[in-house]
Every structure is written in C-alpha cells, then in structure tokens.
C-alpha cells in the first residue's frame, strides 16, 4: 500500500476473494489455485473515482469513458504508424469466394494493382484510427489540456511530423507564444529536450529549478532472495568409473520403471500390488525377460512394505509434493518424491537412481546430504514442533537409507552459498 497507493486495494481484495472462493469449492492447494486462476479469463474492472492529488497514467484506449480535470498528452509528437513494408503481413486480400489470402512481406516495387490498393486501404484505416484516438484523448480533459512531446535533433529543425497530434493541434493555437486573451491557451516551444538546472531557455524565460526528488537517484529495486533448489544445493564432484553403454542404458531404464511403479502402486491395495505391477510392466516393458520383470516387481513391493517406511507408501502418503519455506532469510523451494505428514511426525523420502548406491548412511555423497538437509530444514519450518524423518531410496537396488539428524546437521549451515545468491 505504501508503495502502490490506495488503488492497489481493489486487486488485492479481489485476489483474496478469489482465494476464498476457490477454498470453499475445492481442496485448498496453492498449485490448484494457481492453475484455476491461470485458466480463468476474468478481468478486474474498477470504477474510477476521485483521484485528487494523484497522477494516473493511461493509454488512450484505457481512458475511454473517463474524464479528469487536467489531461496531458505526453507523446503527441510521435509519427503515426500507418502502412510500411512490415504491415503487409497484417492484412489479406479478399477473394470473391469469401476467403482471405494472407500476404508475406513484399518489396515496394512488388506492391502493384490489388496489393497496392490493399496497402492503401490499410493505411487509410490506420490514419482514421489515429485521428479517432486523438478525439478521445482531447475530450478526456475537463479543465486543462496539455499537448507535448520530445523531438530528435533532426526533428528539432523541421518540427514535429506533419501527421502527429502535436502538429495538427498546433494549428489551432495562437502564433504568439504569449497567452491568448480569448481562449486562454498558450504555445511554448523549446529546442532542447533538457536544460541544465539554473539555465535559461532560448526565449529568455526564467531558469528552471528542479525539486529535490528529481535530483535524487532512485534506490535499488527490492529483490527477493533467489530460491535454493535442494536438488542443486551442492554439486556431486565424485565421478563413477566408466561403464559399458548397454549396461548403463539398461540400469537407467530399470530405475525409471521402478520410479514409476513407486509413484503408482501406493494407492493400490496391498494384496493387488504384485498383479497390477506385473500387468503394467507387461505393457510398458514387454521386451524385458520374465525374470527381470519379476525381479523389478519384487524389489518395488519390498520397498513399499518395508516395516520402517510402509506408512509413507500407504494411501495417506503424498507423491511429488512441491514445498517452499524461508529459513534464515533463504528461500528453499523444491519437490519431494514422497511425503507423509501426521500429527506427531513428518516423513520425507527422495528417490535416487544412482547405479552404484551406497551401502550405508556413512557412504551417502555430500551432495545428497546437503539436499536432504535442505528438505529437513524446510519441513521443520513448515511444520514447527514436529520431528522430521528423512530417507533416501536408491531405486537401482532398491535400498532405503535413513539419515539421522546428527548426520544432516553438519550440512545445514552450508545451504546459503554464493552459487544460489544474487550478486550484491
């Protein structure tokens, strides 16, 4: 409000009303709300009331239906846009059959006959719209109309373009630069766009004095901290030794299949998981051997029914959950593969497809520890007072490794690195 003024009230109120309306008829969800807003074509139209002491910047189209005591046409010396080579792309030739033929950009020498007539018709239409907009702009003023603009160095010698609003309206002004006794209007002309402070113009008028705000540099625009993506909180500098390409492709595909089954099977009743997983693999990986498919199904079911993490993969667990939190001034935003939130505990699991998974928590790469530390801190901020349990699922084996608070704590202070920060 302090920055945007009282007119910001209307869009803010409408945004809140929309949020309440969405919440009343749908499951509260930020992602769902954004999708709902994005799909809407509604527009906010506000009745313009009194704006005493304020300057309102509008396009001529946007000013239709409004009136103000003082109206300034600040860019009236511009040359109207009408015709031109690129404009041939904007119109088409009408055919007797009723069809319209779009035209590409053509050289001037190529515009003859019907092409030239079509271009001239478009130029006429553009100019008519140009003068209609001038009428709209002029009739917005209740008491005073100021018409001005800037000229290039070349235009300063020849004057504004003949078809500009300024040149057309200049004809109704008195030739004497002084005040007209009948109509109360005045014509002022300057050959320099910006005089130095204290410098008189060429007509001998008093030197200008700029207010302090005009001489003060604008402060830097406030910039929010760049969100930290936990998945890139650190770079894993360790490289795996070379591996045969066919084996690598097979391992990658296996990891993808396991990942997709882990996304789909948790909503399936326990007794039906093996059969449905086998059916799904038969369609998605029909070229694999029966032994390979059975091994994948057995590995996935083993993970889902792991006694320590079975609840995370139960029906109340959530898959692909976006989360965001502010921790010590650092924005952390990311998406976790699996999340379970209860009244007493928060459990998060992230999938990894590394083809050489570690055997224990002590062997987990530093990059993964920093990523999971970021998730841990974000969830602590989102659900204060609840312990957060963190696990990493290596889908290649598959193998679940739980990371304790003691193992994550040394990596929490490294989240705000210069890699993810704006330059000062």
Domain positions in the chain = 1-46, 58-194, 230-420
What is the residue-wise DSSP string for 44-72?
--------TT------TGGGTT--EEEEE
* Percent of the chain whose pLDDT exceeds 70: 73
Q: Point out which residues pair with 93 in neighbouring strands.
A: 101
User: For strand 346-352 and strand 330-341, is the pairing parallel, antiparallel, or unpaired?
Assistant: antiparallel
DSSP state of 223: -
CATH of domain 230-420: 3.90.320
Q: How far is CA 208 from CA 6, 196, 269, in A?
A: 32, 8, 81
pLDDT in tens, 158-214: 888 888 999 888 887 655 555 655 556 666 655 444 455 555 555 555 666 778 887
* pTM of the full structure: 0.45
pLDDT in tens, 353-376: 777 788 888 888 888 888 899 899
Residue 415, number of CB atoms within 10 A of its CB? 21
**Confidence at residue 422, expressed as pLDDT on a 0 to 100 scale:** 40
**Confidence at residue 106, expressed as pLDDT on a 0 to 100 scale:** 72
For the chain, give me the number of helices (H) and strands (E)? 11, 9
Q: How many CA within 13 A on the CB side of residue 322?
A: 5
Q: How far is CA 414 from CA 324, 334, 368, 411, in A?
A: 18, 17, 13, 6
**Confidence at residue 414, expressed as pLDDT on a 0 to 100 scale:** 62
In the structure encoding, which two tokens stand for residue 88, read together? 């041939």
26-35, 38-47, 117-126: segment of lowest average pLDDT: 38-47
Binned at pLDDT 50, 70 and 90, residue 248 comes out as low
Query: Are the C-beta atoms of 380 and 388 separated by less than 8 Å?
Result: yes
pLDDT of 264 over the 60 cut? yes
């Amino acid at each position: 409000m302090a920055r945007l003024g009282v007119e910001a009230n209307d869009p803010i109120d409408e945004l809140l009303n929309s949020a309440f309306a969405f919440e009343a008829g749908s499951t509260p969800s930020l992602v769902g709300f954004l999708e709902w807003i994005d799909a809407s074509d509604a527009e906010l139209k506000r009745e313009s009331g009194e704006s005493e002491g304020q300057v309102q910047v509008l396009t001529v189209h946007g000013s239709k239906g409004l009136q103000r005591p003082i109206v300034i046409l600040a860019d009236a010396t511009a040359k109207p846009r009408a015709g031109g080579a690129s404009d041939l792309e904007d119109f088409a030739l009408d055919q007797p059959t009723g069809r319209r033929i779009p035209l590409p950009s053509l050289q001037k020498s190529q515009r003859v006959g019907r092409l030239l007539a079509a271009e001239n018709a478009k130029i006429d239409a553009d100019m008519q719209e140009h003068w209609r907009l001038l009428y709209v702009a002029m009739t917005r003023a209740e008491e005073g109309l100021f018409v001005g603009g800037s000229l290039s160095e070349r235009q300063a010698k020849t004057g504004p373009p003949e078809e500009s609003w300024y040149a057309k309206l200049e004809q109704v002004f008195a030739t004497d630069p002084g005040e007209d006794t009948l109509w109360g209007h005045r014509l002022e002309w300057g050959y320099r766009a910006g005089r130095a402070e204290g410098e008189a113009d060429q007509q001998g008028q008093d030197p200008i004095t700029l207010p302090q705000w005009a001489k003060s540099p604008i402060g830097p625009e406030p910039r929010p901290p760049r969100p930290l993506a936990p998945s890139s909180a650190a770079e894993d500098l360790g490289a795996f030794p070379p591996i045969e390409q066919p084996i690598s492709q097979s391992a990658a595909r296996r990891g993808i299949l396991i990942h997709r089954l882990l996304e789909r099977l948790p909503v399936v009743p326990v007794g039906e998981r093996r059969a449905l997983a086998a059916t799904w693999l038969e369609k998605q990986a029909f070229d694999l051997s029966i032994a390979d498919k059975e091994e994948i199904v057995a590995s996935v079911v083993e993970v889902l029914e792991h006694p320590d993490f079975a609840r995370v993969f139960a029906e109340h667990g959530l898959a692909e959950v976006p989360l965001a939190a502010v921790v010590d001034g650092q924005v952390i935003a990311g998406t976790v593969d699996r999340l379970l939130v209860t009244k007493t505990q928060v459990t998060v699991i992230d999938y990894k497809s590394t083809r050489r998974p570690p055997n224990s928590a002590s062997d987990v790469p530093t990059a993964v520890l920093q990523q999971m530390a970021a998730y841990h801190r974000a969830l602590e901020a989102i659900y204060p007072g609840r312990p957060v349990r963190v696990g990493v699922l290596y889908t290649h084996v598959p193998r679940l490794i739980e990371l304790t608070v003691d193992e994550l704590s040394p990596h929490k202070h490294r989240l705000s690195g210069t890699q993810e920060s704006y330059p000062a």
